[in-house]
Amino acid sequence: MNTLIAVAIAPCGTGEEMSAYVGEVVRVIQESGLPNRTNSMFTEIEGDWDEVMDVVKRATMVLAEKGIRTEVVLKADIRPGYHDMMHGKLQRLEKRLAEDTDAGNNEGERQE
């Protein structure tokens, strides 16, 4: 079943700078072959539930197997019948925002 997740996997107790550790985690996700996108707070991964969760587990174990306490924050959107939600959700939102902006502009024109 298609699943879109947002996950943050981070070390605890390793100091203030975490980019090297997070880089190791993101590399595992990127090399998984599943569609993914990383931003400043989360990495999104999309695919079959079992495949996505396997990638999360492998990415988490990169740190945990080094003896590093590891924090995982995960949010999942399971939506049967939908694919490419990573892009589709954003496209639908942008379309709605554009429609709302156009409607607001038209209302302003009518009032003049």
Rounded distance, CA 35 to CA 3, Å? 11
Residue 112 reports pLDDT greater than 70: no
Q: Is the pTM of this model over 0.85?
A: no
Rounded distance, CA 47 to CA 34, Å? 6
Query: What is residue 99's DSSP assignment?
Result: H
Task: Match domain 2-82 to its CATH number in 3.30.450.40, 3.30.70.930, 3.30.1360.150, 3.30.479.30.
Answer: 3.30.70.930
Report domain extents, the chain.
Answer: 2-82
The 10s digit of each residue's pLDDT in 12-49 is 987 778 899 999 999 999 999 999 999 999 999 999 99
CA distances from 88 to 16, 61, 62, 95 (A): 35, 30, 31, 10
* Contact in structure between 75 and 5 (CB atoms under 8 Å): yes
